[in-house]
Chains A and B, each alone.
Chain A
């Protein structure tokens, strides 16, 4: 279907152990979906598999970006098709500056023989850094090297906004953030919310969803979505805790 990120009957394993079990989820453009659940339930695996990480074995299923299956493609192909994954733990790349890195990513999206317009590029980069309250001096710094948790996550949002994806998956973006950083990062995400873009926000805690208010909340357990609801569901989860999820759904999925 057009205008959706659609995950259909996805089965994924690692070393023979099933992690995602007939996983289904559809995110239309214009919506923010939150995916919550206890640790070890397969949330991060889902994010990595969609982005093309090769450590997992795909048993079956499809991931459709506007109707086109991208499952099993190379990570760069998937990114260019319009998906962005904001990492839970962004990697440090010594000697590669933020400016050069994002520029290389932009360059990769241009047809052969065309080059990034440097003047326009820097203008846009600086404007977006200002919005995220990032010091412009950061452009020359090595990507994520020696950054604090908050700086790394801001840098993820900066990349996301510079690459203009159709669908964004945010993996535990709130981990390691204090309240100030959380607010700035959330503002960055909210600025990108649009009818042209869908979000999957993966989080263990409800507090991120106070800032990025989701349209739909899904509860994931044991490799699949076991319950869905509106933003209130996140608050309910916060009160009841994940033990409730375990009690409620262990028998049902057994």
Chain B
């Protein structure tokens, strides 16, 4: 069967600059040149690549105005914000731009096509410049060739924006393929935060997501990105995210993953300047036959910097998770502190958690740790809690939420934290018998 995705054509936006047309063409080339992943590929070890098919998914037409309005209405996870975009099937449903005050300071928050038109130099420098290296290069190529939806946030030198910019990416149409893109550029000593939220219109609308997010944090910049992935369980999702941190930059990524039938998450952090501090936190709740496939890469090209990764997974039913993390400390990157922890809580004996931690250290004065633990609910803890009068089911819930809390509290927003707890509660409240 021939589909658009199998023989992609570049998105043609009128008057698109040459550099972008070239990047799209290169994307197609990359997509065509690379084979579909197989289970034999080291970067796809343990993954059910057979369930990865992109066949039959296509970019779809924009939904009706009523549908767009409805989903804008349902985009209410974060009320205090500096801006908000809502996309449905890659069509722009709403774009709340920034205040005049922020605009006067030089802050830019725009849909990517407008950013390309209005700020071509900025976009040429940063847009589609960071590919993944963790196995989904083919899909990055597909994304590059098609991407037309997403937000660009640029915060200039020394400007601090406290409130987050919130991007909602919805799917709605039949077998829709979406290619959302979030680009964050924080110049030296700038402060910015974004929330990316991935939602499905209904429980059943099948969809394919190939999203890319790139963070560029300049010297001394502070960037906080939160990700809420709550697709329905008929979605195949790829999230290809990168962070580049310059000298003394502080970047924090917090991801909460609840949805999708099969979710592949590639997260790369590259430290390019001393003093940088990058945190990567993730929490995943897997149920039914869901598969969450997480690949991470912490690269230290400069010394005296810190990267810290904590991925926690709770698994129910027949779900699977794969965590594969690599830390690479380049030659000369002395005094590096790089940490990587993966914790898996198996709530059912039929669930399966795979962990592949890895280190590659070319400097000699570093502090690195990596570790993975997989365990069941602790019977002694359960007895302790029950001995206070708490019923088994309630004790288990408390423990599971306790397990999550370490990550949830890192979102540093009471409203979002409570909304996340609610999403998680809805997902598995009925599951713990």
In the complex with contacts A76-B389, A79-B386, A93-B381, A108-B403 CB distance below 8 A: no
Closest to B343 in A: A94
- Chain A interface: which of B116-124, B178-186, B359-367, B393-401? B393-401
Closest to A53 in B: B383
**Interface residue B375 (Cβ < 8 Å from any Cβ of A):** no
**Interface residue A61 (Cβ < 8 Å from any Cβ of B):** no
Cα distance A53–B382 when bound, in Å? 10
**Interface residue A80 (Cβ < 8 Å from any Cβ of B):** yes
**Interface residue B390 (Cβ < 8 Å from any Cβ of A):** yes
Complex contacts, A90 vs chain B, CB 8 Å: 384
CB contact between B389 and one of A80, A87, A92 (< 8 Å): that residue: A80
Query: B401 contacts A96, CB within 8 Å?
Result: yes
CB contact between B402 and one of A74, A75, A84, A96 (< 8 Å): that residue: A96
Complex contacts, A76 vs chain B, CB 8 Å: 386-392, 395
Cα distance A84–B386 when bound, in Å? 11
Interface residues of A in 73-89 (CB under 8 A from B): 74-76, 78-80, 84-85, 87
In the complex with contacts A93-B399, A96-B399, A96-B401, A74-B386 CB distance below 8 A: yes
**Interface residue A99 (Cβ < 8 Å from any Cβ of B):** no
Cα distance A87–B383 when bound, in Å? 11
Query: B387 contacts A51, CB within 8 Å?
Result: yes
CB contact between A108 and one of B381, B389, B402 (< 8 Å): that residue: B389
**Interface residue B405 (Cβ < 8 Å from any Cβ of A):** yes
Give the size range of B's interface with the partner: 20 to 34
Interface of B is mostly: helix
**Interface residue A193 (Cβ < 8 Å from any Cβ of B):** no
Query: B399 contacts A75, CB within 8 Å?
Result: no
Complex contacts, B389 vs chain A, CB 8 Å: 76, 79-80, 105, 108-109, 163
Interface of A is mostly: mixed
**Interface residue A39 (Cβ < 8 Å from any Cβ of B):** no
A97 CB to nearest B CB, Å = 9
Closest to B389 in A: A79
Closest to A106 in B: B389
Complex contacts, B401 vs chain A, CB 8 Å: 95-96
Interface residues of B in 397-419 (CB under 8 A from A): 398-399, 401-406
**Interface residue A104 (Cβ < 8 Å from any Cβ of B):** yes
Cα distance A102–B384 when bound, in Å? 12
Interface residues of A in 116-168 (CB under 8 A from B): 142, 159, 163
A121 CB to nearest B CB, Å = 15
Closest to B402 in A: A95
Complex contacts, B390 vs chain A, CB 8 Å: 76, 104-105, 108
A8 CB to nearest B CB, Å = 22
B288 CB to nearest A CB, Å = 24
In the complex with contacts A91-B381, A93-B381, A101-B388 CB distance below 8 A: yes
**Interface residue B41 (Cβ < 8 Å from any Cβ of A):** no
Query: B388 contacts A93, CB within 8 Å?
Result: no
**Interface residue A100 (Cβ < 8 Å from any Cβ of B):** yes
Closest to B385 in A: A93
Cα distance A90–B380 when bound, in Å? 10
Cα distance A96–B387 when bound, in Å? 16
Cα distance A224–B293 when bound, in Å? 56
Closest to B393 in A: A76
Complex contacts, A72 vs chain B, CB 8 Å: none
CB contact between A96 and one of B383, B391, B392, B398 (< 8 Å): that residue: B398
Query: B406 contacts A95, CB within 8 Å?
Result: yes
B414 CB to nearest A CB, Å = 13
For A54-67 the 0/1 string (1 means CB < 8 A from B) is 10000000000000
**Interface residue A176 (Cβ < 8 Å from any Cβ of B):** no
Closest to B397 in A: A104
Interface residues of A in 152-195 (CB under 8 A from B): 159, 163
Cα distance A47–B399 when bound, in Å? 24
In the complex with contacts A93-B381, A95-B404, A100-B386 CB distance below 8 A: no
Query: A91 contacts B384, CB within 8 Å?
Result: yes
A28 CB to nearest B CB, Å = 23
Complex contacts, B384 vs chain A, CB 8 Å: 87, 90-91, 93
Query: B398 contacts A74, CB within 8 Å?
Result: no
Cα distance A109–B394 when bound, in Å? 13
Query: B387 contacts A85, CB within 8 Å?
Result: yes
Query: B394 contacts A108, CB within 8 Å?
Result: yes
Query: A104 contacts B394, CB within 8 Å?
Result: yes
Cα distance A235–B17 when bound, in Å? 93
Complex contacts, A95 vs chain B, CB 8 Å: 399, 401-406
**Interface residue A52 (Cβ < 8 Å from any Cβ of B):** yes
Query: A163 contacts B388, CB within 8 Å?
Result: yes
Q: Which residues of B are at the interface with A, using a C-beta cutoff of 8 A?
A: 378, 380-381, 383-392, 394-395, 398-399, 401-406
10 CB-based A-B contacts, threshold 8 Å: A76-B391, A78-B387, A85-B387, A87-B384, A93-B402, A95-B402, A95-B404, A109-B389, A159-B388, A163-B388
The 10 closest A-B pairs by CB, nearest first: A95-B402, A95-B405, A79-B389, A75-B386, A105-B388, A96-B402, A91-B384, A76-B386, A108-B389, A75-B387
